[in-house]
Amino acid sequence: MRLLIVGTLEGQLGAASQMAMERGAQVTHAPDTDAALKILRSRGADLLMVEVILDIPALIPRLRTEHFSIPVVACGIGTDPKVAAAAIRGGAKEYIPLPPDAELIAAVLEAVAEDDQPFIYRDPIMKNVAALAEQVAPSEASILITGESGTGKEVMARFVHQKSRRANKPFVAVNCAAIPENLLESELFGHEKGAFTGAVARRIGKFEEADGGTLLLDEISEMDIRLQAKLLRAIQERQIDRVGGSKPVNVDIRIIATSNRKMQEEVKAGTFREDLFFRLNVVNLQVPPLRQRPADVKALAEFFVEKYTEMNKVPARQLSENAFKALTAHTWPGNVRELENAMHRAVLLATGDAIEAAAIMLPDASGNLMAPDTLTQNGGSPDTDGAAADTASHQGEESGATLVGKTVAEVERDLIIDTLKHCLGNRTHAANILGISIRTLRNKLNQYQTEGVTVPQPGDGGQRAPV
């Protein structure tokens, strides 16, 4: 992950850089926003960490004008909560107080960039997929990774890159579904100054940023079919044309693409070019859904519990047998992403010596958090013989009865408020942890405000104030 730090950070620049590099980030520095923009145009970055005194609300529009879709994190020492809140309202994704804390920086880098998820697998079905991935990784063949949303396709792509001969070169990811159609061409191929409104300077694209390494085209099935023709030529010729450019630019990259759709059906429907499909699908790695990988559920759950226990600095707890039963009974429609959010919530909710099933709150179809024994799945309860209800009652006694006597709405409210406090009031980060949409979170907060409940403001360090 390529991190660009902007500003002096009031003497904390070296410490923040070192912590980020220890977490695997490639760090570049810029003294001010003008210098930062020059660096972005020439080499790119995955994340900006900007000193809050540099007027982030003014920087964000400049990034948008030049069509940079890069997350921004604000940071500062003893910053006025209003300044931090203004930075987040202006477009910053997070706020980091300085002096920097290593775990907080690690958490923010992960939450924003989402690129340091280790490849954890124990199930035989995933061992077969991983073995095939490792076998083909040293080749130059294009790879198409398919599977449901949240199964870990990007993690698999990074695994292939790490096992390839290009491992010490850049790994650049482009989410084709997240970038507007009219901007994706410039994002991929770059542009020359004056090529279109907002092209105030030459900018290289992701193909050039990834030169010598691997380019991941995430959710490629969302790419407009007209742009697919230019992509096919770039892959075949190993040359790209910047938007508005007059001569081709040579590139040396390995292409990995992912999709959560059935690509053969997209080809039949005419929404995806058959020749591009064959060019990308030299090797197909199919990542199975989590419900087909029961051994991975346990391994990943244990990993996430350890990760979030350390991050939140709460007492270490193991998952109980009843908790494992609840995990394996769930079908995990959100796959690994849903499991991670559930384990983060469980770490925050657990109160006894172990994490019991009662602490594993899962979202229902409406986004409301429910205990496993009350969550209906596939027309029934995960535990149809009634054991789940007995287990939940027993767990309530073991956990000091913290949850006993509370309604689900009250438990949900406390969890949302505590998570928001942990995130220094950042709504986006809290929604990601909770596994709900930002809209759902805001609706909940508006409801709590009506009820007289107070919540943390962005950047307030945990002080509670009205929404």
For residues 401 and 412, state if they share a domain: yes
The CA distance from 341 to 307, in Å, is 12
Does residue 303 register a pLDDT over 80? yes
User: Mind listing the pLDDT tens digit for each residue in 222-259?
Assistant: 999 999 999 999 999 999 999 988 889 999 999 999 99
For residues 51 and 139, state if they share a domain: no
Query: Measured between alpha carbons, how far is residue 227 from residues 183, 204, 221, 424 in Å?
Result: 11, 17, 11, 41
Label residue 465 by pLDDT band (50, 70, 90).
very low
Q: Are strands 249-250 and 239-240 parallel, antiparallel or unpaired?
A: antiparallel
User: Residue 442 falls within a domain, yes or no?
Assistant: yes
For residues 274-296, average pLDDT: 96
Nearest to 28 by CA among 61, 70, 56, 66: 70
For residues 381 and 421, state if they share a domain: yes
DSSP letters, 363-420, are E-TTS-EE-TTT--BTTB-S-TTSHHHHHHHHHHHHTTTSSTT--HHHHHHHHHHHHH
The residue among 255, 288, 321 that closes a domain is 288
Using the structure block, give the residue that is written with the tokens 């292409």. 255
pLDDT score of 375: 54
DSSP letters, 245-296, are -SS-EE---EEEEEESS-HHHHHHHTSS-HHHHHHHTTEEEE---GGG-HHH
List the structure tokens of 240.
């790209």
pLDDT score of 398: 42
For residues 186 and 278, state if they share a domain: yes
Nearest to 231 by CA among 201, 253, 262: 253
Using the structure block, give the residue that is written with the tokens 């940079």. 68
For residues 50 and 174, state if they share a domain: no
DSSP letters, 406-462, are --HHHHHHHHHHHHHHHTTT-HHHHHHHHTS-HHHHHHHHHHHHHTT--EEPTTSTT
User: Mind listing the pLDDT tens digit for each residue in 11-42?
Assistant: 787 787 888 887 777 889 999 999 999 999 98
Does residue 1 register a pLDDT over 90? no
List the structure tokens of 95.
């706020």
For residues 395 and 261, state if they share a domain: no
The residue among 273, 288, 303 that closes a domain is 288
Contact present, 382 and 371 (Cβ < 8 Å): no
Q: What is the CATH number of the domain that holds 87?
A: 3.40.50.2300
Based on C-alpha coordinates, what's the Rg of the chain? Answer: 23
Query: Measured between alpha carbons, how far is residue 103 from residues 25, 52, 110, 268, 337 in Å?
Result: 14, 20, 10, 48, 21
Using the structure block, give the residue that is written with the tokens 């929604």. 431
Nearest to 237 by CA among 221, 248, 225: 248
List the structure tokens of 147.
């599977």
User: Residue 132 falls within a domain, yes or no?
Assistant: yes
Provide the whole-model pTM.
Answer: 0.70
For residues 224 and 162, state if they share a domain: yes
Of residues 383 and 349, which shows the higher confidence score?
Answer: 349
**Count of CB atoms situated within 10 Å of the CB of 411:** 19
Label residue 113 by pLDDT band (50, 70, 90).
low
The three state secondary structure string of 130-173 is HHHHHHHCCCCCCEEEECCCCCCHHHHHHHHHHCCCCCCCCEEE
pLDDT score of 440: 80
Specify the number of domains making up the chain: 3
Question: Hey, what's the torsion of the CAs at 236, 203, 63, 28, to 10 degrees?
Answer: 100
Residue 191: strand, helix, or coil: strand
Label residue 188 by pLDDT band (50, 70, 90).
very high
The residue among 113, 138, 157 that closes a domain is 113
User: Mind listing the pLDDT tens digit for each residue in 44-87?
Assistant: 888 899 998 888 888 998 888 887 878 898 888 766 778 888 88
For residues 440 and 319, state if they share a domain: yes
User: Residue 119 falls within a domain, yes or no?
Assistant: no
Domain that holds residue 162: 124-288
DSSP letters, 311-378, are HHT----EEPHHHHHHHHHS--TTHHHHHHHHHHHHHHH--SSEE-GGG--EE-TTS-EE-TTT--BT
User: Residue 118 falls within a domain, yes or no?
Assistant: no
